[in-house]
Chain A
């Protein structure tokens, strides 16, 4: 009977009924149907969607793993193996989850590289960048917590090394460490709380991802030319034009991750983690997961414990202020002839730091780590502000539409755009 007063937007009466009371249908239409995407976005712009899908996959596979896992020091290792042997397709769940974590970081690193190279962190998307760094931080915490759960040798000793870092903080360090562990050493109390936190943090990440997506939709997505959307001619609707490109990205990603899950599920795992935790036997090399290794390299490059901890956390903290360290108004590195190369060198440097982070901190590796550490901070604190002042950027194209059609003279993009088109 109330139908008279309700606006008839949709053919389906159920949708109309919902829309009148909660305009969620039109919200999704606006944000995921008609949402305007710059035409010239390349496949780097698919990694946000890939990351979201991976997060959901991790949460779903994790919930099913949690149903069969026992967070007790005496039983954790065996319960993980029991999942692999006796739970129907338990091995698949576990390999999806363990390799999914590594691939989640690969995707997010590419997503961050995209954001840095094309200047997506600049006005007006600074808050978006901050939320993103916050997600990255939460991911690192979550993956560290999850790595302790199988209670293998690396789980135990990794947890011991990382929680020991907190004891370096003056005055409150020891107390803080005991408070975090729930005991004086890593033990059952630690495993229980790490499991609880590992279960809840992904939902926190999911919430922050919601804010991250909502924030990017306010001013729209950046694009490889880094210039603003000026007219309707610059954009295509998300559905179906970008969705179909994201689907292709998902298929390519699916092939890659399946190759690892099904044919080399332990390639990215440390063999020592298939040995049950033993507090009396220290492994020869305690190595972090490779995706956290650059920060581990920074930690060990500093001879002083507190200094190392401070620089390690500083290396993450400095990311938060990147939008204010960059003094250039030009977003895309495609139009920044000097900064582009410093940026490339930064990516290579980050990789080198990760590489030496997996190796023993001695001799040449230690020197490389120290050089890498200096460039890491030098890039943010010196190069980024100064290059912005002295660099003369190339002429920006008039519009995204021009870039897409290959009209932007200065743009090196058309070659790659042709592949996409």
Chain B
């Protein structure tokens, strides 16, 4: 009887937990270096991905939650981070005369937004708001797989589908119409390290970068997780043996 009860409970909780994401299946999975319990980010891929973001995405998409100093984590030197930050101007002040002034960004500044405000962003993009990319892989179902497929999912629209004005056909977008033109194609970004710059590689790298920006703690988290679980397993085994010894005397 107790076994049936346990079985029912197990079923209930495993199914309930997954009820939220029940209609899974069609989204193709990509092999990511950060998958699995020992997954890590490839630093070279992160730096390449940042280059793709800077040269392609950053024209329209902000990353408000990142600071330039965060780039130290993906292997850039302090001098490089300073140089990257200094490419952008930020509004600061007021100074002693009460004036606002522009100055080059510093590593302690947040990523500079391509637009002054959301309204300007909409006005420049046919009314469509380019979403902030800081946590985009956490904010979309299927996360990094979805973003990767979306970037690679631009096709000619099937004849029976009428694509709206200023819209593009994408087989992974909700409703198959997206306001963003295909951002990535073969060779659209040049890599300094000689890595093949076909569209698949560019997409993989930029999605790796976006995954890092959404979950910069991923490597530390998985590493600590292995230790914590091992701790509970070892303690649990010892206590289990002690319990058997202790309860042997109970009649």
A residues near B (Cβ < 8 Å) are 39, 42, 44, 78, 81-82, 84-85, 91-92, 95, 102, 106, 109-110, 113, 117, 224, 236, 240-241, 244-245, 247-248, 251-252, 254-255, 258-259, 261-263, 265-268, 270-272, 274-275, 287, 290-291, 293, 333-334, 340, 344, 347-348, 350-351, 354-355, 358-359, 404-405, 412-413, 416, 420-421
Contacts and interface: CB of A to CB of B under 8 A. Distances in A.
Contacts of A359: 19, 22
Contact of A272 (B19, B139, B240): B139
A248 B242 CA distance: 10
Contacts of B64: 78
B239 A265 contact: no
B17 A268 contact: yes
A19 B73 CA distance: 56
A270 B103 CA distance: 40
Interface stretch (B4-12, B159-167, B177-185): B4-12
Contacts of B141: 271
A350 B8 CA distance: 11
Given A110-B9, A348-B8, A267 B17 contact: yes
Interface string B147-165: 0000000000000000000
Given A92-B224, A255-B229, A266-B138, 14 more contacts: A91-B217, A109-B13, A244-B242, A251-B239, A252-B232, A254-B229, A254-B232, A262-B226, A270-B20, A271-B139, A348-B8, A350-B12, A404-B250, A421-B250
Interface in B1-34: 1-5, 8-9, 11-13, 15-17, 19-20, 22
Contacts, number: 138
Contacts of A420: 247
B93 interface: no
B222 A262 contact: yes
29 contacts: A78-B64, A82-B65, A106-B13, A109-B13, A244-B243, A244-B246, A248-B236, A248-B240, A251-B235, A251-B239, A254-B236, A255-B232, A255-B236, A258-B228, A258-B229, A262-B221, A262-B222, A262-B229, A265-B221, A268-B17, A274-B138, A275-B139, A293-B19, A347-B8, A347-B12, A351-B12, A358-B20, A413-B1, A420-B247
Given A258-B232, A262-B221, A241 B251 contact: no
A236 B139 contact: no
Interface of B: 1-5, 8-9, 11-13, 15-17, 19-20, 22, 37, 64-65, 70, 131, 134-135, 138-141, 143, 216-217, 221-222, 224-226, 228-229, 231-233, 235-236, 239-240, 242-243, 246-247, 250-251
Contacts of A258: 225, 228-229, 232
A240 B17 contact: no
Nearest to A42: B2
Contact of A344 (B8, B139, B247): B8
B72 to A, nearest CB: 13
B134 A39 contact: no
B13 to A, nearest CB: 6
B19 A290 contact: yes
Contacts of A241: 246-247, 250
A359 B15 CA distance: 13
A302 B174 CA distance: 30
A344 B8 CA distance: 8
B185 to A, nearest CB: 28
Most chain B beta-carbon neighbours within 10 Å: one of A42, A261, A263, A267: A263
Nearest to A290: B16
Contacts of A255: 229, 232-233, 236
Contacts of B228: 254, 258, 262
Given A244-B246, A251-B239, A344-B4, A262 B225 contact: yes
Contacts of A266: 138
A128 to B, nearest CB: 21
B65 A78 contact: yes
A247 B237 CA distance: 11
Contact of B20 (A265, A275, A287, A348): A287
Nearest to B12: A351
B129 to A, nearest CB: 9
B232 A416 contact: no
A274 to B, nearest CB: 4
A252 B231 CA distance: 11
B2 to A, nearest CB: 4
A248 B225 contact: no
Nearest to B5: A117
A74 B65 CA distance: 14
Contacts of B222: 262-263
B132 to A, nearest CB: 8
A252 B236 contact: yes
Contacts of B221: 91-92, 95, 262, 265
Contacts of B15: 351, 355
Nearest to A251: B236
A358 B19 contact: yes
A354 to B, nearest CB: 5
Contacts of A224: 2
Nearest to A284: B174
Nearest to B132: A276
A139 B239 CA distance: 31
Contacts of B226: 262
Q: Which 5 A-B pairs have the closest CB atoms?
A: A262-B225, A251-B236, A274-B139, A254-B232, A351-B12
A413 B16 contact: no
Contact of B239 (A84, A247, A291): A247
